[in-house]
Structures are given as structure tokens and as C-alpha cells.
Amino acid sequence: MRAFVVEKYGDQSGMRAAETAEPRTGADDVLVKIHAAGVNPLDLRIRNGDFKTFLPYRLPLVLGNDLAGTVVRVGASVTRFAVGDEVYARPDKDRIGTFAELIAVHQDDLAPKPAALTMAEAASLPLVALTAWQALVERARVRPGQKVLVHAGAGGLGSIAVQLAKALGAHVATTVSTGKVDVAKDLGADVVVDYRTQDFAEVLDGYDVVLDSLGGENLAKSLRVLKPGGTAISVAGPPDPAFARELGVNPILRLAMTALSFKTRRNAKRRGVTYSFLFMKASGDRLRELTALVDTGKIRPVVDRVFPFEETLQAMEYVETGRAKAGKVVVVMP
């Protein structure tokens, strides 16, 4: 089958189109013909080798973390799906590979595709929607009336997180560039901070939750807008000890992760708030809950641009250079 594979970690030169073997399917697996795949910053970070210390993929690696498609075969123990079903998913972190014609996905990580969405729209959702859900619902437990700051509210993750936070009854602020202010308002943000002309840490205060997707100085400043007892959740900040325990890494790597996040955790503690690193997990059940929000119009996908599958490398470059105006970039099969 055709696929885009990482042959060596680094920049775009380490990735190419290739012919690969059809995936093997176990008793609990569903073989999916991929119609569309989302492109995420996570794909770039995996390609660059940013996670190779704790996600030791064997190269060559088929890249890609989002899919929408049709079931073409089911394992002997599969009970939730049948051939012909339209589905969508974020495969488990150890079984990625959606920049391909076919993929085998465990039935627990798969969900029926929202009926009202196109394949491209559905493929834009799983990773970012699951990340937003796990951050705001499972970890922060956002309640009606709380104040939530979502950074990069017009981006792939931010555009869904803003909508989810509003659906949970929160007062939502977000940061965007000048040209994306109207997009953020249209998504439901109550307060929109243009980071090119304003410093969010100077104009926002008393927030219960911050969802950070930028890391670095942005994360450090985010701690200042939280009220005592608040929490900052980051998908781009340093891994913390809880994440190390969750992965079950060796003691040396656990110490390294603890050291990486020490400064951030110390600063958070001094301010009476908490810091939490999030690396989302695949879950078909959570996707089903998100599907209900899509079906009722509380969450809608935001697709910036669609590329043909043959231009997957160009799609990744488009994301890497920050040219997307709002939402996700998707590649589609012919």
C-alpha cells in the first residue's frame, strides 16, 4: 500500500512516499480504508524525534495521528463494527500511521463517524477533540461559570477547546493573532486577546484553568493569570513526574522528566496553582461522547485547507510554516 514514512529523525528530508506492507490485524482489530487524515503539530514533533526518548518508534515509521474512513475487515473478536461502517479515530500512540491507504486500529480506539460530517471534517477532529476533552473534562473538570483561557484559539486544538469550554458552561478567553480575532469570536470566545497588540498576562486575571499549546514563556506567563487553586494544563510544556509514572519509564528517564519540569512546577507552587502535562490517549468511548456534541451543533470542525494524499509532505510544510489561517489541515485520498 502507499504510505508516507519517516526513515530518519530530523526535518522533511527524512520523510518520503513509499510502498509498505498491508497492516496485520489481530482478533480485536479493525482494518480501515483511510479516506482522510488530519495533519497535526504532533506529526512534526514525532518526525523531528522530539519524543524518541519515551516513544521509541522503530524506523521506518508510517506517520499520521488522525483518520476517517471505512471498515474493510474486522478481527474475530470485534463486536462493535462491521464491514462498510464509516468510522473515525486517533489510533493508540504505539499504532499510529494514518498517512497511508490502510490502518489496523483496535476496536476500543474507534468510533462511528458523525453522520453529518464529511470524511475530511471528521478526520480533523479526533486528536484535538480528545485532547480538549481530556484536558477540560477529565483533568480540569471544568464547571459552569468557571473562567477558562485557551491559547491559540483559532488553531487546531484551540478551535475545538474554545467550543468545548463554552459547551461546559465556562467563561472563555483566548489568544489569537490580529487576523484571527473574528474567527475566535465566531467560535464563541467571550474575551479575545490579540497577542500582537496585547499581553494576555496584563489583561487577564482570576482564571480557573489555562490550556496551553505553546509552552516556553507562554506557559510561564499563563501561571500568572490563574487564581489560587487554578491549574495550567500544557500539551507543549515539559513532561512532569505524573506523566513519567503513567508511561512506566525507567528511573533515569523519570528523573530526567522530573528535572525538566522542576522550574515550572516550583513556580506554580509558589503561586498556589498547579501545572500538569498532557499527552492525550486514544479512546473510542470518549469520541462517542464528542460525537454527541457534534450532532447537537455544540462543536463543529474547523478545516483550514485540504490537500490530496500525494501532497502530504506539502501539507506538513504548510502546517510547519504556520500558514494555516484557522483550524486543521487535512489530506484526502483520491
Whether domain 2-125+301-332 has CATH 2.60.40.420: the reply is no
Helix (H) or strand (E) holding 119: helix 119-123
Is residue 245 predicted with pLDDT exceeding 90? no
Q: Is 14 exposed, middle or buried (0-12, 13-18, 19+ CB in 10 A)?
A: middle
Assess whether the region 2-125+301-332 and the region 127-277 belong to the same CATH fold. Answer: no
Strand order, beta sheet including 15-19: 15-19, 2-6, 61-62
Q: Give 251's pLDDT tier (boundaries 50, 70, 90).
A: confident
Ranges 111-115, 168-172, 259-263, 313-317: which has the least confidence: 259-263
How many angstroms separate the CA atoms of 207 and 136, rounded? 13
Residue 328: is its pLDDT beyond 90? Answer: yes
Q: CB of 4 within 8 A of CB of 100?
A: yes
From the candidate CATH numbers 3.40.190.10, 1.10.287.3510, 3.40.50.720, 2.170.190.11, the one assigned to the domain spanning 127-277: 3.40.50.720
Does the structure show a pLDDT above 90 at 55? no
Give the Cα separation of 324 and 303 in Å (integer): 9
CA distance 108 to 86: 15
- The mean pLDDT of 244-266, rounded to a whole number, is 89
Q: How far apart are CA 234 and CA 77, in angstroms?
A: 37
Domain ranges of the chain: 2-125+301-332, 127-277
Span between the terminal Cα atoms of the chain, in Å? 14
User: Looking at the predicted structure, is the pLDDT value of residue 54 above 90?
Assistant: no
